[in-house]
Amino acid sequence: MAAPSPYTAAVEMGYALLAACTPYNAWAHFQELQKNQWLSPEDARALRWARLQAILRHSRENIAFYRQLWQAHGVDPRRFDSEKDLVDLPVVTKQLLSEAQRNNLFLLSRRRDYQFAHTSGTTGQRFRVPFTLAGFQKKYANHLRQMYASGWRLGMKSATIHYSGHNQFRGAYSGRAEDEEPFARVRETALSIAHRRRVLTPYHQPETGDDPQVKAWYEQLRDYRPYLLETMDYNLPLLKEYIERNGLPRLSIPKTFVLGTHSEALLARLEEFFSTEIYDRYSPHEIEGVAYACSVRRGMHIAIDCYHTEFLDEHDRPVAPEETGTIVVTDLDNDLMPLIRYRLGDVGHALAEPCSCGRGFPLMGQIDGRVRDLLDLRSGKKVAPARIADVLQDEPAVHLFQVVQYGDGAIVAHVVPCGGTLPVAVSERILVRLTNLLGPAERISVTPARHIRLEPNGKCSFVKKADPDTRAALPRRSGG
């Protein structure tokens, strides 16, 4: 690693000082996490098992919610021999946890030393997870680890383009006045001074295509020249299209974290266009840093020192590596409101092969989408959103798109083409590939669109299932 700039050295020293003298000890946790990732796979798993036993013991002894739940299911984690036995514990949902919170089963009413983090609400229900300052320092350390894995360090310039419903905007665009971040003032100070983070105004129109916003991003990124950009999956294509259409000089951004998934072909096009390396991470709001890409950028390392991550079938049994399953995570740190086998609402898959970088943590692939957006086929099979998105993202002529399965089962690919017209050959190729993927029995159509409507929280769903009572509006070209 090259010698750090004086700014980086000063900030890192400042963080070390804070950790030594104050409760803001994220840097000490970070040092430990940095070491953990280089443990051998066996030692990393042993660490996870020791930590799993500790959180299970704590939850059984001190948390009424889990004690009652596990008793009702007739399981006693004291009898477990390894993490494989965890499958005997019931999976918990946001709904179940929210209800337990309302019934004070985590005894939060006895404490004053916590603040809430809201989930983003993309998977349907929003819910709140409490953090003490100590717990929050651990989450922040996890955040730092995933950022450092890209080559970025504290003190290097960064910029973000979040979704408009992000808690940090406190409802300014979403109208959700209750939105907040835990320990917001400390967080914002750290981000602006130590991360040198510029927060760009998020896209906040109901549909894509708002040039003044994209123009402002372009100018700010051009002038500020961040080393690292964090952004939503649909923002980079918006920016690329704006630059191309106006014949502007390209931007060069060394590292980019994209929140969302991209096909390999689209990744390659974006990396080339922005002269950047794109990093992936899986970091839901309430459980920061579940998995993160290293410089090899083949999948993401699962942080097994802080979380136990499972991929499960419809009976909540583990699926094999490379097979897609719903993601269930146990947080090994949060003892205030433990999340034990917590269903996130996303689907993903573990990779079978280890990484060549030498980190001992196993790999998972990019997230395959949200459980509620799995498309239902007539055969009874379900298809992960990412498999469908791949088909459209592979096409350079496609600017943005949204594939919707309507309540009557019809599947419509709404495609915003680059340059305004969707070539017939492209449209037909998409239809053929979607038909091959989903089968000839499905009603599939491809139709040009001018805009994509964003979700209420400001995210763009590339593939989604519409409400059950919706019907597709007259497909133009039908398959099957």
Q: Which residues pair with residue 159 across a beta bridge?
A: 198, 229
User: Looking at 38-46, 311-319, 333-341, 355-363, which segment touches Zn ion (CB under 5 A)?
Assistant: 355-363
Least distance from Zn ion to the Cβ atom of residue 152, Å: 16
With respect to Zn ion, which residue has the nearer C-beta, 15 or 279? 279
What is the smallest separation between the CB atom of 294 and Zn ion, expressed in angstroms?
A: 3
Is 100 or 294 the residue whose CB approaches Zn ion more closely? Answer: 294
Closer to Zn ion by CB, 296 or 441: give it.
296
423, two tokens = 């070539």
Nearer to Zn ion, 87 or 357 (CB): 357
* CA–CA dist 371, 203 (Å, integer): 25
- Output the CA–CA distances (angstroms, integers) from residue 110 to 69, 163, 340, in the order listed: 21, 35, 22
CB of residue 281 to Zn ion, shortest distance in Å: 13
Residue closer to Zn ion by CB (options 172, 357) is 357
φ/ψ bin of 200: left (φ > 0), alpha (ψ from -120 to 50), beta (otherwise) = beta
Residue 139 corresponds to which tokens in the numbers above?
């989450």
How many whole angstroms separate alpha carbon 106 and alpha carbon 97?
9
x/- track of binding to Zn ion for residues 257-296 (CB under 5 A): -------------------------------------x-x
Min dist CB 284 to Zn ion, Å, is 21
Say how many residues touch Zn ion, by CB under 5 A.
Answer: 5
Could you tell me the strand order of the sheet in which 255-259 lies?
197-199, 158-161, 228-232, 255-259, 277-279
- DSSP for 150-172? TT--TTS-EEEE-BTT-GGGTTT
* Single residue of 26, 228, 329, 355 touching Zn ion by CB under 5 A: 355
Closest distance to Zn ion from the beta carbon of 344 (Å): 23
> What's the CA gap between 341 and 86, in Å, rounded?
8
Residues 356-375 that bind Zn ion (CB under 5 A): 357, 359
How far apart are CB 358 and Zn ion at their closest, in Å?
7
Nearer to Zn ion (CB atom), residue 149 or residue 375: 149
Q: Of 73 and 298, which has the nearer Cβ to Zn ion?
A: 298
Among candidate residues 459, 433, 464, 437, the one with its CA nearest the CA of residue 446:
433
In contact, 460 and 208? CB cutoff 8 Å: yes
Closest CB 109 distance from Zn ion, rounded Å: 44
Region binding Zn ion by CB under 5 A among candidate stretches 36-44, 153-161, 201-209, 354-362: 354-362
How near is the Cβ of 142 to Zn ion at its closest, in Å? Answer: 17
Are 52 and 86 spatial neighbours (Cβ–Cβ below 8 Å)? yes
CA 243 to CA 246: how far, in whole Å? 5
Judged by CB under 5 A, the chain residues 196 through 225 that form the site for Zn ion are none
Pick the closer one to Zn ion by CB: 347 or 355: 355
Closest CA to 100 of 65, 68, 55: 65
**How far apart are the C-alpha atoms of 79 and 102, rounded to whole Å?**
30
In terms of CB distance, is 144 or 294 closer to Zn ion?
A: 294
Task: Check residue 108 for interaction with Zn ion (CB under 5 A).
Answer: no
Q: What does the alpha-carbon distance between residue 117 and residue 239 come to, in Å, rounded to a whole number? A: 30
Least distance from Zn ion to the Cβ atom of residue 475, Å: 44
Site pattern 289..308 for Zn ion (x: CB under 5 A): -----x-x------------
Burial of 221 (0-12, 13-18, 19+ CB in 10 A): buried
> Contact positions toward Zn ion, by CB under 5 A?
294, 296, 355, 357, 359
